[in-house]
Chains A and B, each alone.
Chain A
Amino acid sequence: MKRYDVAIVGSGPGGLNAAITAKTRNKDVIIFGRQDLSSKLVKAKHVNNYLGLFDMSGAEVAERFKQHLANMEIAITEERVTNILPAGSYFSLLTKEGIYEAKTLILATGVNFGELLPGEKELLGQGVSYCATCDAFLYKGKSAVVVGYTRQAEAEAEFLAETAEKVYYVPMYKGKDKDIVPELAHGIEVVMDKATGIEKNEAEAGSSAMKLLLENGEIQAHGIFVLRESTAVDVLVPGLAVDEAGKHVMVDRSMATNIPGCFAAGDLTGRPYQYIKAAGEGNVAALSAVAYLDTNK
């Protein structure tokens, strides 16, 4: 398998500047993200605090970033990274489309994870799963609840329902999708309520082993799938040190995390949540990754 020098996760200002810096240093770079770069950036009405790029909308700033990328011949890989494994001497990154390997890793995912449900993290892997397409086959003849935070979760629930005996679906949509009642195939039972927590029935096994607590009651099942837009970063990268609130990655001045060869940049490392701070950290993170590559040849 091809092994990249640097893999970057996230295409906001932190990730992009890391990509540009690493490319300038002749490193083989892959950057995962989205064509529109960053939803936060595109939504910004007015940007006035980025050196040299002033009195512009976020979309205009994004357009300038894109021109810079094109000029440097950097293409964004539009795949969502669902798992990263620090494999010792390299990093392995999983997307729906495949597995990638890189010698160093720069995390620049931003901080938009949302709040975890009480009990969710503690029971992960013990009845709680984040990936219906990964664990579906273990639910043959069993029941499951899917807590869906985005409409993309509907397809995963349907995939699960092809194998599982019974699937419940609890939509937790926000914004314009808030009041949508999803129409799902394979006999999925849609429950219009709000999930408030997850518990394990210690004394019970089988179809009542897990309990999803709702505002108006509860659902019992073999397992619970929680499907969000993005994964909390310490779940994405097992063993990564985060702060007490679990929101920010712990880094030093060189943007190094506790995992050798893994660096972080941007909102993910803490406030202020500003583009120019993110871009500067991306630069530092990439230079640190280059130094790491040079000393660990």
Chain B
Amino acid sequence: MSVREINEADFEAEVVKAEGTVLVDVWAPWCGPCRMLGPVVDEVAEENAALKVLKLNADDSPRVSMQFGIEAIPTLLVFKDGKLANKSVGLISKAAILDLIK
């Protein structure tokens, strides 16, 4: 599935109330490592048709950042049926992202 950008207001509906697995890439435009990880997340999305992949700008999402203890970016959050199942901070390899969503 293609990657979509969401904002904090959509978070509840798009993530918490969503069924199945959702991968959220928490990033910001000023963050170099986030710009490196972005294309890899895109690739994972393209190769996993059933997976819902969303991007959330950390600068505009203080409430979500606080709720999920986001202290550094990029952070990847994996939700299964609306519950946080996995969290990874910093740059990780494509293989490691695939492990997260298993």
Give chain A's interface residues, CB within 8 Å of chain B: 82-83, 85-88, 92, 94, 99, 124-127, 129, 131, 134-135, 137-138, 222-223, 238-239, 259
Given A83-B36, A85-B37, A94-B32, A137 and B59 touching (CB < 8 A)? yes
A158-B48 Cα distance, complex, nearest whole Å: 43
**Is B85 part of the binding interface, using a Cβ–Cβ cutoff of 8 Å?**
no
Contact of B95 among A83, A124, A129, A239 (CB under 8 A): A239
User: Can you pick out 18 interface pairs between chain A and chain B where the beta carbons lie within 8 Å of each other?
Assistant: A82-B32, A85-B93, A88-B40, A88-B94, A92-B39, A92-B40, A94-B33, A127-B71, A129-B72, A134-B32, A134-B73, A135-B73, A138-B65, A138-B73, A238-B90, A238-B96, A239-B92, A239-B95
Task: Across the interface, name the chain A residue whose C-beta is closest to B37.
Answer: A85
Contact of B70 among A87, A99, A138, A259 (CB under 8 A): A138
Closest chain-A Cβ to B18's Cβ sits at a distance in Å of 25
- Residues from chain A with Cβ under 8 Å of B95 in the complex: 86, 88, 239
A259-B93 Cα distance, complex, nearest whole Å: 10
**Main SS at interface, chain A:** mixed
| Beta-carbon contact of B93 and A239 below 8 Å | yes
| Beta-carbon contact of B93 and A125 below 8 Å | no
- Residues from chain B with Cβ under 8 Å of A126 in the complex: 71, 89
| Beta-carbon contact of A125 and B71 below 8 Å | yes
Contact of B90 among A99, A125, A127, A259 (CB under 8 A): A125
**Is B68 part of the binding interface, using a Cβ–Cβ cutoff of 8 Å?**
no
Ranked 4 nearest A-B pairs via Cβ? A125-B89, A88-B94, A92-B36, A239-B93
- Besides A83-B36, A88-B95, A259-B93, 14 more A-B contacts (Cβ < 8 Å) are A83-B91, A85-B37, A85-B40, A86-B93, A88-B40, A99-B32, A125-B71, A125-B90, A126-B89, A137-B30, A138-B73, A223-B71, A238-B90, A239-B92
Tell me the chain B residues, 23-47 only, with Cβ under 8 Å from chain A.
Answer: 28, 30-33, 35-37, 39-40, 43
**Is B58 part of the binding interface, using a Cβ–Cβ cutoff of 8 Å?**
yes
Task: Across the interface, name the chain B residue whose C-beta is closest to A236.
Answer: B91
Contact of B28 among A88, A137, A239 (CB under 8 A): A137
| Beta-carbon contact of A87 and B73 below 8 Å | no
| Beta-carbon contact of B72 and A138 below 8 Å | yes
Contact of A239 among B31, B37, B96 (CB under 8 A): B96
A90-B6 Cα distance, complex, nearest whole Å: 28
| Beta-carbon contact of B71 and A83 below 8 Å | no
Task: Across the interface, name the chain A residue whose C-beta is closest to B30.
Answer: A137
Task: Across the interface, name the chain B residue whose C-beta is closest to A140.
Answer: B62
Closest chain-A Cβ to B40's Cβ sits at a distance in Å of 5
Task: Across the interface, name the chain A residue whose C-beta is closest to B47.
Answer: A88
- Residues from chain B with Cβ under 8 Å of A138 in the complex: 58, 65, 70-73
Contact of A124 among B32, B36, B90, B92 (CB under 8 A): B90
Given A125-B89, A238-B92, A239-B96, A134 and B36 touching (CB < 8 A)? no
Task: Across the interface, name the chain B residue whose C-beta is closest to A87.
Answer: B40
| Beta-carbon contact of B94 and A87 below 8 Å | yes
- Residues from chain B with Cβ under 8 Å of A87 in the complex: 36, 39-40, 43, 93-94
Closest chain-A Cβ to B77's Cβ sits at a distance in Å of 13
Task: Across the interface, name the chain A residue whose C-beta is closest to B62.
Answer: A140
| Beta-carbon contact of B33 and A83 below 8 Å | yes
- Residues from chain B with Cβ under 8 Å of A86 in the complex: 93-95
| Beta-carbon contact of A85 and B65 below 8 Å | no
Task: Across the interface, name the chain B residue whose C-beta is closest to A96.
Answer: B32
- Residues from chain A with Cβ under 8 Å of B70 in the complex: 138
A129-B75 Cα distance, complex, nearest whole Å: 13
Tell me the chain B residues, 50-81 only, with Cβ under 8 Å from chain A.
Answer: 58-59, 65, 70-73
